[in-house]
Structure 1
Amino acid sequence: MGFVNSNTYREIFHQPEMWRQTYSIISERKEEISNFLSNYYNNDVTVVFTGAGTSSYVGNILQYLMAGYGITNYKSVATTDLTTHADTIFLKNKKYILVSLARSGNSPESIAAVDIADSICGDNISHIFITCNAEGALAKREPKSNVLSLILPDATNDKGLAMTSSFSSMLLMAMLVFDLNNVEENRAGVDKLSKKAEYMLNRYSEDIQKIAAIDFERAVFLGSGEKKGIAEECHLKLQELTDGKVICLFDSFLGFRHGPKAALNEKTLIIYLFADDEKTLKYEIDLVVQINQQIKPAGQIYVAERKIEQTEVKYDLEMVPETYENTKFDVILYVLVGQLLGLFKNVELKLDPDSPSASGKIARVVEGVTIY
């Protein structure tokens, strides 16, 4: 049980408290954030979410939520793409808000993305920095009127290699920023979200530890819409924390049919992140039934807001929150399955949860990148 003393274990399990603290930061700075958005956002402005690796997946989720916040122009572009192809992202005569998401704020591309965007856009760009490290290069940049710097609680600056509480807290903070008009009612939503997560972490950890002991060599995470971005994050968590010994894929349910399904075999664990709406769920269940008619996977898990009534398929784990009413933040809960699978498969493989990369192929902050 030495893994319970690891940073990674602690960082996964303290997420509910980090979310409450994240809400408090937004609540306390409501007026400042509101003034910034009033000054720099209108319907002619494009919001660009950017980050590297896990941080970029936050943007991939947010782009499915922005319309619900009344944001009309938006895109998600990784800093790793922006650094090499900024001139295809930014047009000199257009206005932008670049939302930089970063755990450390020290990745070379995080700084380069801001500098390159400024060089192309000049006065037509403003910035929101969402970072977990008050001492990072991004947070330490010279204050400017067109920059809103939001620092998450220090404990979200995960010490483990794999981003866990940093990911979920950055996602929540961005959701709260762009839903600022509802900041007071969102207090109750964040509290319900945190209680759901506490239940799920305590209720399902032992079950997921048992599934992690299954002999599987591949894992596939499937999600539709915003949950595809969660599937993307989950696939990286399991692959990082097992040092690549488990090869992982992600896709949408419908997209998976178009070729990627060839990766399935009897050594594959499949994780379904089911949709809340009935129409999308029908597409998803159809794929699950088809898969089970074609192969016998090593194991199958689903995560959903409620128990799925289905007789054709036997699941190894049904991961459903306790009965709390739904919140607009519930998509965040779905990442817990990837985090827990990564942690417990890491333990099963006798790796170090905080430093799983025995060869040093990957590091907490990416090294060796020269910006040209």
Structure 2
Amino acid sequence: MASIQTTSFDTIHEIYQQPEMWRQTYQILLDKEKEISEFMTSHYNEETTIILTGAGTSSFIGNILEFVMPKYGFYSVKSVPTTDITTHPEAIFNKNKKYILVSFARSGNSPESLAAVNIADSICHNNIAHIIITCNENGKLVKEYAEDNRLILILPPETNDKGLAMTSSFSSMLLASMLLFDVKKIVNKKEGIDNLYKKGEYFISTYSDQIKKIAALDFERAVFLGTGELKGIAEECHLKLQELTDGKVVCLFDSFLGLRHGPKAAINEKTLLVYLFSNDDKVFQYERDLVVQTNQQVKPIAQIYVSQKKRSTGNVVFDLEVLPDRMNFTEFDAILYVLIGQLLGFYKSIDLKLDPDNPSASGKIARVVEGVIIY
């Protein structure tokens, strides 16, 4: 395992522990293979819509899975934040349809997470079942909602991050869901998990110092770009950097193609650009064209290349090239990309003389959301 720097901050420990958490998460899902299979057999058929939900970072897991789950044979899938279910449930649920609601929750105590389950039950009655993936065995989602139509998966206690920012909780819940929805093949995935562990260790030990140097640059904005499931990873990266810097760095995310349609106006000479490149060669052509065009129009303060393999982007020069996937490709490699946002966020927080574990000096944001009244 990569050596963890001597520091009192929980956040960096929670970032560095992720490869081990991924191995432990795999073992938890493997041990529950029979229970998961029986639950899916009982509650899922071709008429079932799977709703993926959570708030903030937890909701981004669903945005990623929308692109992943068709690979496992699930096409009727929607990612809907608990915040939207709470306010507009009638736009989400039809009482005559069949659903599985998958709730992602670090603490399991967020008001909207609890409300989403209650609202879904009140509308759908016997037409809904629940999968709860959480990092807290003592959360209300576990304690108050353990019923016959629930599958509850509790991840290693260390994934219940103590820091404000979700790090190991995010990546471990994402991995758990990828294993869950392909549970029939879970026994054969150990080699892929072992490779993911090694790649995570390599990423952290090889690139942390270089990312720290990039974080010390005087950028005021950051834009993260990804395509398909990597757009959801870009979404998580943008939030990590923005919340860990208490909004002092304003961040955006988009797809490479989507950036052209207006958001590119935000890029200036004080912008850090982070490209999460696709492994698909056809998709990469679209991404490369955007990079070349952008560099012809503006000179950002720095650019980071993150990819599973090195490919040409013309004459564009990158300030950092992150290539963590020199070992065999695995289906889980997209998870690795989140490390760039987490590490940038941590080191930029330090650079700005903030407390990464509690960067919000004014209390604008908190580890578990506060001030929400459910009506």
For normalisation by structure 1, the TM-score amounts to 0.99
Distance 2:255 2:314 in 1: 23
What does 1:75-90 align with in structure 2 at a 5 Å threshold? 75-90=78-93
The CA deviation string for residues 255-278 of structure 1, in whole angstroms up to 9 with x for no partner, is 000000000000000000000011
Name the counterpart of 2:197.
194
**Aligned twin of 2:13:** 10
- Partner letter of residue 292 of structure 1? N
1:142 CA drift (Å): 4.2
By how many angstroms is 1:52 displaced?
Answer: 0.1
Show the counterpart of 1:111: 114
Secondary structure of the 1:63 match is helix
List aligned pairs for 1:1-372, cutoff 5 A.
4-372=7-375
For the residue of structure 1 that corresponds to 2:67, the secondary structure is coil
CA separation in 2, counterparts of 1:242 and 1:358?
10
- TM-score, scaled relative to structure 2: 0.98
Contact 2:291 2:313 survives alignment (8 Å): no
- TM-superposed CA distance for 1:176, in Å, is 0.3
Distance 2:325 2:336 in 1: 12
Secondary structure, counterpart of 1:161 in structure 2: coil
**One-letter code aligned to 2:234:** A
Q: How far apart are 1:302 and its partner, in Å?
A: 1.3
Distance in 2 between residues matched to 1:4 and 1:209, nearest whole Å: 15
> Match of 1:4, SS?
coil
Contact 1:3–1:347 at 8 Å: present in 2 too? no
Please report how far the alpha carbon of residue 187 of structure 1 lies from its aligned counterpart in structure 2 after TM superposition: 1.2
CA displacement, residues 104-159 of structure 1 (integer Å, 9 cap, x when unaligned): 00000000000000000000000000000001000112422110000000000000
Which structure 1 segments of 5+ residues have no match? none
Residues 144-197 of structure 1: CA deviation (Å, up to 9, x unaligned): 211000000000000000000000000000000001011011111111011101
SS in 2 for 1:49: strand
- Aligned to 2:30, the other structure's residue is in SS state helix
Letter in 2 for 1:178: F
Given that residues 304 and 319 in structure 2 are in contact (C-alpha distance below 8 angstroms), is that contact kept between their aligned partners in structure 1? yes
Q: Which runs of 4+ in 1 moved over 2 A?
A: 1-5, 308-311
Tell me if structure 2 keeps the 8 A contact 1:3–1:353: no
Task: Provide the aligned length of Structure 1 versus Structure 2.
Answer: 372
Residues 41-83 of structure 1, C-alpha deviations (whole Å, 9 max, x = no match): 0110000000000000000000101111111211000000010
Matches of 1:188 and 1:276, distance apart in 2: 20
Aligned residues with identical type, % of pairs? 64
What amino acid does structure 2 have at the position aligned with 1:4?
A: T
* Secondary structure of the corresponding residue to residue 229 of structure 1: helix
